[in-house]
Amino acid sequence: GNSVTQMEGPVTLSEEAFLTINCTYTATGYPSLFWYVQYPGEGLQLLLKATKADDKGSNKGFEATYRKETTSFHLEKGSVQVSDSAVYFCALENTGNQFYFGTGTSLTVIP
Amino acid sequence: NAGVTQTPKFRILKIGQSMTLQCTQDMNHNYMYWYRQDPGMGLKLIYYSVGAGITDKGEVPNGYNVSRSTTEDFPLRLELAAPSQTSVYFCASSWGQGLNTEAFFGQGTRLTVV
């Protein structure tokens, strides 16, 4: 079946620290992979995506590389800001256009 | 540029009451979805639709019903509200298979059943 496992939170970092949020997946075939971000009181917004192995998605300083050999799509940012405080969801989309989401990782960045 | 619009944003229901959560999208997307988000549980798919007139169950459909009479609208119906349905509900839409399979989300409906 299809599933996504992401690291448990919450995560608290100081401003300018390095961020990694781990995400691994189980899927048949060749899924597309996504990171979504949810700011307080809002819906989910696409942060970045990758549609095939070795693709790197990037946006707003965040990056993630689609690693088929390790079935992973870890999110990284070199220097986090207070405004990055949010909940981050890893997701995959597979045949049938269904999306499968991880449980979300809450990030708080303190000044 | 409305995207996906959900109404209402907040609602309190009494046990046994019914209500309809509205969802409309203006992007001409074929696929639409309803998710519920419980604390620490991520998003669970309730129902989805691949086009007007076609709906299918997701992971947690019990206690809900949907219809898709038009491409734009995908309402979610709760017939007999129960405390277990207290959650945040998100509607989403997407084009379909291919490179542009991003899902677009509404802002959510926070429902409390008391």
Query: What secondary structure does DSSP assign to chain A, as a single string?
Result: --EEEE----EEEETT--EEE-EEEE-SS--EEEEEEE-TTS-EEEEEEE-STT-EEEETTEEEE-BTTTTB--EEESS--GGG-EEEEEEEEETTTEEEE---EEEEEE-
% of residues, chain A, pLDDT over 70: 99
Q: What is the mean pLDDT of residues B8-13?
A: 96
Q: What is the mean pLDDT of residues A81-91?
A: 96
- For A84, phi then psi, to 5°, come to -85, -5
Whole-angstrom Cα distance, residue B91 to residue B49?
Answer: 11
Q: What is the residue whose two structure tokens read 């959900």?
A: B6
In the sheet where B19-25 sits, what is the strand order?
B4-7, B19-25, B76-78, B64-66
Confidence (pLDDT) at A40: 87
**Integer angstrom CA distances of residue A94 from A4, A26, B96, B99:** 12, 11, 11, 12
Q: Quick check: helix, strand or coil at residue B72? A: coil
Is there a contact between A103 and B41 if contact means CB atoms under 8 Å apart?
yes
Cβ(A9)–Cβ(A105) under 8 Å? yes
Q: What is the mean pLDDT of residues B25-48?
A: 91
The answer to whether residue A15 scores a pLDDT higher than 90 is: yes
Q: What is the mean pLDDT of residues A12-23?
A: 97
The answer to whether residue B1 scores a pLDDT higher than 90 is: no
Chain A to chain B Cβ contacts (< 8 Å): 54
Structure tokens at B84: 């277990």
Whole-angstrom Cα distance, residue B42 to residue B31?
Answer: 20
The answer to whether residue B106 scores a pLDDT higher than 80 is: yes
Is there a contact between A43 and B90 if contact means CB atoms under 8 Å apart?
yes
Point out the residue among A32, A43, A104 whose CB comes nearest to the CB of B101. A32
**Integer angstrom CA distances of residue B73 from B7, B48, B84, B93, B95:** 12, 12, 26, 10, 15
Q: What is the mean pLDDT of residues A20-27?
A: 96
Contact residues, chain A, for B108 at CB < 8 Å: 42-43
Angle at alpha carbon of residue B55, lines to B95 and A2, rounded to 5°: 65
% of residues, chain A, pLDDT over 90: 78
B10-13 and B109-113 strand pairing: parallel
The pLDDT tens digits for B47-82 are: 999 999 999 999 899 999 999 999 999 999 999 999
- Per-chain mean pLDDT for chain A: 93
The answer to whether residue B35 scores a pLDDT higher than 90 is: yes
Is there a contact between A43 and B45 if contact means CB atoms under 8 Å apart?
no
